[in-house]
Structure 1
Amino acid sequence: MNEPLHLYLVLAMRTPAFQASAGEAHQAFLEDLIEQDLLELTGPFTDGSGGAYILRAADLATATQIAHSDPLHVTGSSTLTVHEWRARRPGAKD
């Protein structure tokens, strides 16, 4: 039986060393996550400071491993932090 997947919020904040080519590679990385059914939501911040995405993973270590393979992280273009997120819809019971 497969372990259930949990949600992880990945915050990607641009660094002064941001490279446009890393941004393009990041888009391909996200497409791969979509194909694997591991990406819940994604998008940039309107102020241009970075963006965020929500991963599905078995545990925090796996989510961190996935996020740290993001070209934004690998190139030092962005600082990525990963948080387990117990997201719920307003009014929903735990």
Structure 2
Amino acid sequence: MNAPMHLYLVLAMRTPGFRPEAGEAHQAFLADLIEQDLLELTGPFTDGSGGAYILRATDLATAVQITHSDPLHITGSSTLTVHEWRARRPVPRD
């Protein structure tokens, strides 16, 4: 039996030392997460300050481990924070 998957919101805020090549490697990292069916949503902030992605993982420790392998984190190009997110769809109004 597979462990249930939870959602984790990852905020990636650029540091002053942001390196463009880390951004390119980050895109490959995200593509790998898609292949593993671990990425729910992803995208940049319109102000250029960073971006966010929603990760699927069995627990917070696993989500952090995955996030720490993101090239943005490894190179120090961005500060990444991970938050367990109990997202829900709004109930439609009548």
- Using the size of structure 2 for normalisation, the TM-score is 0.96
Over 3 Å off, 4+ runs: none
CA RMSD of aligned residues (A): 0.8
Task: Note the alpha carbon deviations across 1:50-76, whole angstroms, 9 max, x for none.
Answer: 000000000000000001100000000
Matching residue of 1:42: 42
Q: Unaligned regions of 5+ residues in structure 2, if any?
A: none
Matching residue of 1:27: 27
For residues 38 and 74 of structure 1, what CA distance do their matches in structure 2 show?
19
Deviation at 1:43, TM superposition (A): 0.0
For residues 65 and 79 of structure 2, what CA distance do their matches in structure 1 show?
14
Task: Note the alpha carbon deviations across 1:31-62, whole angstroms, 9 max, x for none.
Answer: 00000000000000000000000000000000
Q: Does 1:74 align with 2:74?
A: yes
Deviation at 1:91, TM superposition (A): 1.4
- Using the size of structure 1 for normalisation, the TM-score is 0.96
The amino acid across from 1:45 in the alignment is: F
For residues 60 and 80 of structure 2, what CA distance do their matches in structure 1 show?
13
Question: How many residues are aligned here?
Answer: 92
